[in-house]
Amino acid sequence: MWAKNMVFLNLVERFVPNGWAYRFSNTNTTILYYWSSTLADLEPLNITDKATDVAMHLDRAPAFMRQFLHHFDVLVLNTGHHWNRGKITANHWVMAFFRTISPRHFRNGDWNTGGNCDNTTPLTGGSGVSQDESSDPVIAAAVKGTNITLLDITALSDLRDEGHISRYSVKATAGVNDCLHWCLPGIPDTWNELLVAQI
């Protein structure tokens, strides 16, 4: 019995920067562990000087993930153990926030099917948030009774469909509109003001 298990565990170990990989040849499976300090891309401001400050690109995955993502069948992102009870309740100075989703404003299709968001007039859909409850009742229920503060930016951002980059990007491509990202300065500055008010 042990011999069969040992044959099953006939694996090749390979180390990668900041992680490791195990290959189980009998099942054609590779388990890869990769540690990253963030799920965003960190890029040195001065590529020739590794000691320089870094820029954090929140809209890009880490370089390792971008390079190898097409090889993965299953990807698990895990940050949960960094937010367990002992690390939040024992440190009374810790403040945790959950920001609701930023709305997309594609009309007449999606980003890859001719959708657009070419409105340039603010508040065409109205000027007030008329809801008394959260934009996401599931998240609101999940954080209720915890020390997590909900920053509900969805409804107020939904009023500002003209704030997207749309077709006015520096790298604009004919027929392609960016109705997901926001112009800066703009709506994300309001989110920051809400966060500062809570802090």
* Domain contains 143: yes
Measured in residues, the chain has a length of 199
Query: What is the pLDDT, as a whole number, of residue 83?
Result: 58
Q: What is the pLDDT of residues 11-62, one digit of tens each?
A: 344 445 567 777 788 888 877 777 777 777 888 777 777 677 777 787 787 8
* Predicted TM-score (pTM) of this structure: 0.51
**Cα(87)–Cα(193) distance, rounded to whole angstroms?**
26
Q: Is 34 inside a domain boundary?
A: no
121-164 confidence digits (pLDDT tens): 877 777 776 666 677 788 888 888 888 888 888 888 888 888 88
* Residue 135 lies in domain: 92-199
Report the alpha-carbon distance of residue 188 to residue 182 in Å, rounded: 7
How far apart CA 11 and CA 27 sit, in angstroms, is 10
Highest mean pLDDT out of 64-68, 126-130, 154-158, 166-170 = 154-158
Q: What is the largest CA-CA distance in the chain?
A: 72
**Three-class SS state of 165:** strand
Query: Average pLDDT in the 166-188 region?
Result: 80
d(CA 175, CA 196): 38
193 in a domain, yes or no? yes
pLDDT tens-place string over residues 70-126: 777 777 666 666 555 665 555 566 678 888 888 888 888 877 787 788 777 877 777
- Flag whether 10 is in a domain: no
51 occurs within a structural domain: no
> What is the number of domains present in the chain?
1
| 49 within some domain | no
Judge whether 1 lies within some domain. Answer: no
State the pLDDT at residue 12. 41
Find the angle CA(130)-CA(133)-CA(136) to the nearest 5 degrees.
110
Distances (CA, A) of 90 to 26, 53, 71, 144, 176: 45, 32, 40, 19, 49
- The pLDDT of residue 78 is 65
Tell me whether residue 124 is in a domain.
Answer: yes
What's the pLDDT score for residue 16? 53
pLDDT, averaged across the chain: 74
